[in-house]
A = this chain, B = another copy of it.
Amino acid sequence: MTLDFQKSGGLVTAVIQDAGSGRVLMVGFMNQEAFRKTVETGYATFYSRSRQKLWLKGESSGHRLVVKDIATDCDLDALLIKVEALGPGVCHEGYESCFFRHLDGGEWKVTDRRTYDPNSVYGGKS
């Protein structure tokens, strides 16, 4: 039984969930190589669609994701990865979770507070 990388052009969706709090932190994509690296190294590694290359999460920020559990879904084209997130947040905009905007009265409103200053970590780069 192997993951179905063919359905979405070589990629599966990877949902990253905090193993402790249960909060969903981000959604990324993995190709076969990124998945293999994730399993072998124990650190979540994605495939960046915009940069078209592997992307070790936390490579520049140090905010790595330590893999605690990996599940897949019924049709084998999505992953649910429980992690311990190193550092104050996974989002390059300075938040604990990338899901920091909520729909409120038809508009997206930021409800979280930043947990770190992204400029001090990424030096203005996203």
Contacts and interface: CB of A to CB of B under 8 A. Distances in A.
Q: How many copies does the complex hold?
A: 2
Contacts of A15: 15, 24, 27
Contacts of A69: 102-103
A59 interface: no
A33 B27 CA distance: 22
Contact of A103 (B17, B24, B72, B108): B72
A104 to B, nearest CB: 9
Contact of A72 (B21, B73, B101): B101
Interface of A: 1, 7, 13, 15, 17, 21-24, 26-27, 39, 49, 69-76, 78, 80, 91-93, 95, 98-103, 106-108
Contact of A98 (B27, B49, B74): B74
Contacts of A39: 103, 106
A15 B16 CA distance: 10
A91 B80 CA distance: 15
A26 B102 contact: no
Given A26-B73, A70-B102, A71-B101, 19 more contacts: A1-B108, A7-B49, A13-B27, A15-B15, A15-B27, A17-B24, A22-B22, A24-B24, A39-B103, A39-B106, A69-B102, A70-B103, A71-B102, A72-B101, A72-B103, A73-B91, A74-B95, A78-B99, A80-B99
